[in-house]
Structure 1
Amino acid sequence: MGVGSSHGNGLYFRTLTEKQAEEIHLASCQILEETGLIIHHEEAVEILRSAGARVAGGNRVCFPSFLIKQALQSAPSRVTLYNRKGEAALYLEGTNVYFGTGSDTLNYLDPFSRERRSWRQADVAQAVRICDALPNIDFVMSMGFLSDVEPPMINREQYALMVQNTMKPQVVIAEDGDTLLDIIEMAAVAVGGKERLRQKPLFMIYTEPTSPLQQPRESVDKLLLAAEHGVPTNFACGGVAGASVPTTVGGALVLANAEALSGLILHQLKAPGAPFIYGYGNSPLDMRTMQAVYATPEAILFQGGMVDLAHYYRLPSWGYAGCCNSKVCDEQALMESTQFTLMGALQGCNIMHDVFYMEFGLTGSLELLVISNEVIGRTKRLLKGIDTDRESLGVEAIRRVGPGGNFLGDDHTADHFRENWQADLSDFNSFEGWTESGSLTMIERARTRIKDILATYQPESLPEDVKAGIASILRKARAKFGESV
């Protein structure tokens, strides 16, 4: 474990040694070879059997090591996500870091009424607009579970709200393969066709195994469809340490890694070279409260181990940041979410979600989202490190100013002071200046920022024919479920 130089001028934090990464890899290989997984999907079992896996009892699959090696060789080490205009936005490789929100919180912490309530479509649309306006939120997820939509349509309606209210890339949740196909259709309409979407993917799909050691039918459907359509995919164990994965950080890494590799193998057998983002999450179980908790030291170490394994495998990584266990946006919320954000960035996790999650992921807070945008901005500046070119070292400026002078009037200051990080929410006034400005706390300033964005900011609108195409896809889906069109 230690801190050192990254590929650029900044810093990184390494959790595992190379030897430890190899030990975890070999232990995961042993689990895959000897214990295997139950796979609830006939086509997937046959794909694996044909490739040389051993199948027992109909759907208990054991994976020989050559399949693991083969999958790691065929999976790309770099995945790019694009914005709605087709411009490259996220380069998922190396130690590049990007941040975005999470999906499907049940409760919305209304920043205006202070009420904790269910999400409605208008809430999600507003939240996505705010994400589009915040410069350090790099991608968007659905954020809230819609209470005013019938269950079969929720993920579809969420995606329609996302794609119409942000230019940024998305990470999507789909309840099954049919839902994913409709999301692909909507994204294709938005960007100009399925081939363009394949070449310049606008979103990635997040799907999960069921720990311990099972692949559900719906998850595998999405995994195979995504591979077939060239949709970037993350097959991520959402482990609860002490319940669905071992309580030790090392044991949780071994099991989650085995499950991720099992998904990678199947994904690459379906479509060699299809884009796959490696990673998973772990929430330790607090045995006093029986809650799965975020941002504890063990959760952060687990993520660091996962990122080091991603580097070991030369795969893009997926993780967490900006989330907490607090029930309101308070000191605990900011402590936990900030530490997770900073450490995830120093670990070099490529794409980190769940910014704005509170209450173990049950509640979403726009105040936390806006404050986290500032935390992420501070963090990204930190990662840039120190420039040591001749101009930055300022030798000539120091010579000009000389002993006893000052740098306020020197050209070097005028040329470079704007390069320093600038606060959006943080208050740098004196006590008197702060008092004259209303004595607002950080939370109060965040609420004001939310109001300002909603009052003044509009995302770039989709053309009317594109909106009509998305609406048509939604109507067809509603009709399929017997709802009013």
Structure 2
Amino acid sequence: MRRSTQRKHAAPDTAATAPRGPHSAASRPYDTIAPTEAERVVEAALTLLAEIGLRFDSGTEAEGLLTRAGCTIAPDGVVRMPAFVVRRALATVAKSVRLWDRDGTRAIDIDAHHTWFMPGMTCIKVFDEATGEPRPSTRADLATITRIADGLDNIDAVCVACKDVADSTLRGEIGEFLCMMENTTKPLEYLCEWTRSLEAAIEMAAALRGGHEKLSERPYFLHIVTPLPLYFAQSHIEQVILAARAGVPVSVGTLAIGGASTPITTAGTVVQCLATDFAGIVLGQAAREGAFCIGSTNPYFMEPETGGIGNLPQTMLGEQLICQVRRHLGLPSFTGLGGDARARRFGQDAVFEIATMMGQVFHTRPATCDYLGSLDQGITYSLHALLLCDEYAGMLRTLWAGTKIDEDALALDLLREIGLTGTVLGHEHTARHCRTNLWPSRYFGANTPVSTSEKADETLYQRIDRDLRQRLAAPGPEPLPADLHARLKAIHETHAVA
């Protein structure tokens, strides 16, 4: 069986990698449980897969692949995966991959040592720019969000932030991938309902790169597959196999809801999340050993009082726990929940949730944090929220940079020089270090309208809105070459035929 070419591109290359995102060795992620307990969680997930199993739709290629891998399949479609099969898959799966931009000149390292920020995903409404009221989203809205994200320094890749609700067809879904290609030069994340849409996306990306082999060598997008907890439908199976064989990085996971689709306890939900993740990894390795096919299910929890998704402390704890267990296995974590807010509008509630959840990202260190800008439990997209998330991402990166500890930084010689009655204000040491660990904030810090400054007395919303209006009026990225754009549109039309 052919090994994925992605493995040889996993080593860092500072000349090609964006100079941001790595976590400082002096700033460790937070472990919410002991290492022995993390291994106990892993063992529980392995036991679940071996003894209870999970369901795969019957009649797909997965049956042969999983059987040859050592799994057993019951007549009712329940698949049981022995621990040795899962452990083998965890050993062979690529644990890092390089995701390249549209031009193929810069890349981000998707691994357990970086966090990358992305907008989205798949909202079905946006806040109208003129009225401020929510309305169904369109392809034009996706283009606008993608173009704004392209110009934000701390947004590293772009995914399907909102859906083209008016064209909820195969044609519309494929058009969403083309829309992102047209409006950003950054790497992409993609997710879709139809396997035909993924086939079209792979064809477009291969046309961009100059061939399928070159796409495998320099992947342009990460594909997201969203099975239900412990259940892989036909389309999920097809997409995992297709992407793995094409050399397209795959993230397999969905949102579990503790108390509804999974146990109400934090550990119980995380076990089912991991079991779903592991099953996706086994399938990906059965399709192409060495492929980058990583599990990424997120634990959410029900609020017993309302029955809705929420329970912020338990959701944060679940995220901390599953990120720790994945780190324990050397695996990256995806779809960190930092930018996702339950608040219906961008206001005080949303700001609190975004600040709280993105603060958690500092500790949990997911590989991607890609719900930035999503409000109302992922229903409505807010560009104002996206700009605030970009701001917080810059703050996190300032924190991750750590601080230097040497003789010059400790500054004892400075104190010896000026004495106890001297001042550091006009000293050369202050001039050299005054921008160390500086967060160049657009909305806070020196830009906060305190009474001792000359800044206009604007609210946070007004400051963000003023910035947004300027960005909406700015030009987008360079357009695609005309001949390439024509080829991409032709691929779109060919695959859009039902």
1:131 aligns with 2:149: yes
Whole-Å separation in 1 of the counterparts to 2:79 and 2:33: 29
Aligned pair partner of 1:314 in 318, 330, 336:
330
Specify the code of the residue in structure 2 equivalent to 1:190.
Answer: L
CA shift at 1:427, angstroms?
Answer: 5.5
Hey, what does 2:434 align to over in structure 1?
A: 417
Q: Deviations over 1:7-54 (max 9, x none)?
A: 612242112221111111111111101111111042101211122211
Whole-Å separation in 2 of the counterparts to 1:442 and 1:266: 47
The two structures have a TM-score, normalised by structure 1, of: 0.93
Hey, what does 1:401 align to over in structure 2?
A: 418
Hey, what does 2:288 align to over in structure 1?
A: 271
Hey, what does 1:59 align to over in structure 2?
A: 77
Contact 1:241-1:252 within 8 A present in 2 as well: yes
Hey, what does 2:460 align to over in structure 1?
A: 442
Q: What secondary structure is seen at the aligned counterpart in 2 of 1:175?
A: coil
Q: Which runs of 5+ in 2 are unaligned?
A: 1-22
Q: What secondary structure is seen at the aligned counterpart in 1 of 2:180?
A: helix
Hey, what does 2:91 align to over in structure 1?
A: 73
Whole-Å separation in 1 of the counterparts to 2:443 and 2:419: 36
| C-alpha RMSD of the superposition | 1.8
CA shift at 1:134, angstroms?
Answer: 0.8
Q: Deviations over 1:184-233 (max 9, x none)?
A: 1112222333222111111111112222x211000111000011101111
1:353 aligns with 2:370: yes
Q: Deviations over 1:98-123 (max 9, x none)?
A: 11112210110134421211112221
Whole-Å separation in 2 of the counterparts to 1:277 and 1:38: 19
Specify the code of the residue in structure 1 equivalent to 2:360.
Answer: M
Specify the code of the residue in structure 2 equivalent to 1:300.
Answer: M
Specify the code of the residue in structure 2 equivalent to 1:240.
Answer: I
CA shift at 1:89, angstroms?
Answer: 2.8
Q: Deviations over 1:418-456 (max 9, x none)?
A: 33222111263564466x644211111111111111212
Aligned pair partner of 2:164 in 131, 146, 155:
146
Hey, what does 2:13 align to over in structure 1?
A: none
Could you say if the C-alpha distance between residues 430 and 137 of structure 1 is closer, same or farther in structure 2, counting changes exceeding 3 Å?
closer
Whole-Å separation in 2 of the counterparts to 1:129 and 1:391: 43
CA shift at 1:363, angstroms?
Answer: 0.8
Q: What secondary structure is seen at the aligned counterpart in 2 of 1:206?
A: strand
Identity across the alignment (%): 26
1:259 aligns with 2:276: yes
Q: Deviations over 1:71-94 (max 9, x none)?
A: 011012222211112234321223
Whole-Å separation in 2 of the counterparts to 1:27 and 1:430: 53
Contact 2:449-2:455 within 8 A present in 1 as well: no
Query: 5 Å matches for 1:72-221?
Result: 72-211=90-229, 213-221=230-238
Hey, what does 1:291 align to over in structure 2?
A: 308
Q: What secondary structure is seen at the aligned counterpart in 2 of 1:311?
A: helix
Q: What secondary structure is seen at the aligned counterpart in 2 of 1:14?
A: coil
Could you say if the C-alpha distance between residues 209 and 121 of structure 1 is closer, same or farther in structure 2, counting changes exceeding 3 Å?
closer
Hey, what does 1:300 align to over in structure 2?
A: 316
Specify the code of the residue in structure 2 equivalent to 1:335.
Answer: F
Q: Which runs of 5+ in 1 are unaligned?
A: 1-5
Q: What secondary structure is seen at the aligned counterpart in 2 of 1:12?
A: coil
Contact 2:24-2:400 within 8 A present in 1 as well: no
Contact 2:449-2:458 within 8 A present in 1 as well: no
Q: What secondary structure is seen at the aligned counterpart in 1 of 2:37?
A: helix
Give the stretch that moved more between structures: 65-74 or 143-152: 143-152
Contact 2:345-2:375 within 8 A present in 1 as well: yes
Whole-Å separation in 2 of the counterparts to 1:379 and 1:205: 26
Q: What secondary structure is seen at the aligned counterpart in 1 of 2:98?
A: strand
Hey, what does 1:38 align to over in structure 2?
A: 55
Hey, what does 2:9 align to over in structure 1?
A: none
Give the stretch that moved more between structures: 404-413 or 356-365: 404-413
Whole-Å separation in 2 of the counterparts to 1:8 and 1:112: 46
Q: What secondary structure is seen at the aligned counterpart in 2 of 1:354?
A: strand
The two structures have a TM-score, normalised by structure 2, of: 0.91
Specify the code of the residue in structure 2 equivalent to 1:247.
Answer: I
